[in-house]
Structures are given as C-alpha cells and as structure tokens.
C-alpha cells in the first residue's frame, strides 16, 4: 500500500517537466542576453529623434539669423535712399515699404512695419522729432518730442534720419504641446541712423 502511494505521488511526472520548462526558459534567456542582433536598430530609434530635433533647431537658427541680417540691410537701405533727397513726401515714404520688402527677398516680408523720423539736434545737443511717419500714414512721434540717440550721434546743430523696421519671423518648426520649446514667432527690430547727403536737413512736406 505504501509503495503504491509513493508510486502515485507524481503520476504525470510534473516535477521533471517543470524542470525541463525552466531549463529551456533559462537557456532562451541566456541566448537573448548574449545576442547582438537588432542593437543598431534600437540605438538608432533612441538617438534619431534627438538628432532630428538638433538638425531642425540648427536650421531654424540659421534661417532666423539670415532674416535678421536682411532686416538690418533693409533698414539701412531705406535710410540711405531717404537721405539722398532734400525733401520727401508721404508718397515717397510709403514707397519705402516696397523697398524693404524687396530687400527681404527671398524671405517672407508681409507684415513688416516701417517708421521713419527726421531728427533735429539743437546747439545744446538735444534731439527732437522734426517729423515722423509710419506705414499706416500716422505719426509715431509728436513733432518736437524728445528723441533718445546714442551719445556719439548727438552732435549739436546736426540732423539725422532714423529708420525703424520691425518684423515678426515665423518659425518653420513647431512642436505643439511642449510649452518650453513652443516658440512660434521671433519679434525682430532694427534701427538705423544716417545723416543727410545734401543741405542741412531732409524735410517732409506733408508729414
């Protein structure tokens, strides 16, 4: 009776089968641990997003720097054209918008804002606005209002033309949902001062 009981303790030999399964799993784990297949693909999947973001970021920076240089050139070009005249009109100043947009080519230039101010500096070195104009036809500065100039430009009894160009550069790369990097617009502004080429000032007859 005891021999039969001992013989029927494991009628299906489950202990041996369990050991066999465990041994097989351990062998498979060892093979997987030692396998190097697919490592390159996994590393690429981890690194590729970072490399793509870095590449697009460097592209955005280079484009933004080019746009900024174009805006500075547009500001100096507008000032250069205005200071070649003894006097200008609102129509002349309005045409400067087209000049600025042409200089900005091939980058987008719609929405560019242009301000032009004639600045008179008296004998005491105080600068005031003789006239001013912006692209909507209004005066950005009241006549006679005090204007701040760099110290090396505030020469008594002289005249300056100041151009101010503002532009919102739209970034190409947009990462929605990431508040720390979701910067879609860069506000740029360039200011340029230049003295008249002829006479003692540049007048605006109807500003």
SS3 label, residue 85 = coil
Which range of residues forms the domain containing residue 145? 39-204
- The answer on pLDDT for 25 being more than 80 is no
The total of structural domains in the chain comes to: 1
Q: Count helices and strands (H / E) in the chain.
A: 4, 6
106 preceded by cis ω (within 30°)?
A: yes
Evaluate whether residue 146 is within a structural domain.
yes
Residue 33 lies in a domain: no
Is 25 among the domain residues?
Answer: no
For residue range 43-75, list pLDDT tens digits in order: 778 888 888 878 877 888 888 999 999 999 999
- For 100-152, what is each residue's pLDDT tens digit? 999 999 998 888 999 999 999 999 999 999 999 999 989 999 999 999 999 89
- Identify whether the C-beta of residue 90 lies closer than 8 Å to the C-beta of residue 133: yes
- Give residue 6's pLDDT: 46
Q: What is the mean pLDDT of the chain?
A: 83
Look at residue 200 and tell me if it is in a domain: yes
pLDDT of residue 118: 97
pLDDT at 5: 46
Is the confidence at residue 13, as pLDDT, over 70?
no
Phi-psi domain of 144 (left: phi exceeds 0; alpha: psi -120 through 50; beta: other): left
Q: Residue 34 has what pLDDT?
A: 62
For residue 173, the model assigns a pLDDT of 61
Does residue 111 fall inside a structural domain? yes
> Is 147 part of any domain?
yes
Residue 18 has pLDDT above 80, yes or no: no
């Amino acid at each position: 009776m005891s021999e039969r009981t001992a013989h029927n303790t494991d009628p299906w030999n489950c202990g041996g089968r369990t050991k066999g399964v465990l041994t097989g799993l351990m062998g498979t784990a060892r093979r997987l641990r030692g396998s190097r297949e697919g490592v390159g693909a996994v590393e690429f999947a981890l690194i590729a997003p970072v490399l793509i973001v870095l590449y697009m970021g460097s592209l955005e920076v280079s484009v933004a720097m080019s746009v900024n240089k174009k805006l500075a050139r547009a500001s100096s070009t507008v000032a250069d054209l205005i200071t070649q005249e003894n006097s200008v009109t609102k129509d002349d100043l309005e045409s400067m918008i087209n000049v600025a947009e042409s200089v900005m080519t091939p980058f987008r230039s719609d929405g560019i804002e242009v301000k032009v101010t004639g600045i008179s500096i008296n004998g005491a070195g105080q600068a005031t606005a003789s006239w001013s104009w912006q692209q909507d036809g209004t005066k950005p500065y009241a006549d006679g209002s005090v204007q701040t100039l760099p110290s090396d430009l505030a020469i008594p009894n002289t005249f300056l033309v100041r151009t101010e160009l503002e532009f919102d550069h739209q970034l190409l790369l947009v990462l929605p949902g990431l508040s720390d990097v979701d910067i879609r617009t860069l506000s740029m502004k360039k200011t340029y001062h230049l003295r008249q080429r002829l006479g003692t000032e540049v007048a605006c007859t109807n500003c």
